[in-house]
Amino acid sequence: MIKHDRTPFEGGIAIRLYWLVPDEYSFETLKALLARVPAIQPPVGLGPLEGGGWYAKFSLDIHHKLAWNVVQEFGHVLNYVSVDERLPTVFMPVSPPPYMNGGPEEYLSWVVQCRDTLFTPNMAAEWLEGRLPKPVENEREWLQNV
């Protein structure tokens, strides 16, 4: 859904567009990419954030030999690709209280969040695809950087 407003300024009116709620289509590229990344386990939860923006939530097979490589690569691209190229995304672990539920095998998840309504899930997928090992599903390519 796109919202717009008209902001008066000297000499005219500026129209600003806001992408408020991602639709199913806006997640297709990211969902397809995450399905190909080693160690990521289905299902992948995708949806809008309250107040605008979006999220993608998934689990990693913590026993997979590339699990920490995936965390490192995602953290690099989504949190701090470079000093001059910061994306409006955050990649982080999330968990319910371990003392009430259990350990990381079942209850540790990873979330990509973006509150920037102009940065779509498909744009995040493009950034990841451009910087992750190629082809992304080839585990040997992930091991080349180790």
- Rounded CA separation 38/19 (Å): 31
What pLDDT sits at residue 22? 58
Q: Is 123 left (phi over 0), alpha (psi -120 to 50) or beta?
A: alpha
What pLDDT sits at residue 3? 47
Note the pLDDT tens digit of each residue in 30-47: 999 999 999 999 999 999
**Inter-residue contact 84 to 26 (CB < 8 Å):** no
Q: Which residue type sits at 36?
A: R
The total number of residues shown for the chain amounts to: 146
Residues 6+ apart with CB under 8 A from 88: 114, 115, 116, 119
Residue 20 pLDDT > 80: no
**Which secondary structure element, helix H or strand E, spans residue 55, and what is its range?**
strand 54-60
Residue 64 pLDDT > 50: yes
Domains, the chain, ordered by start: 22-143 (3.30.1360)
pLDDT (average), residues 88-111: 93
pLDDT (average), residues 52-64: 96
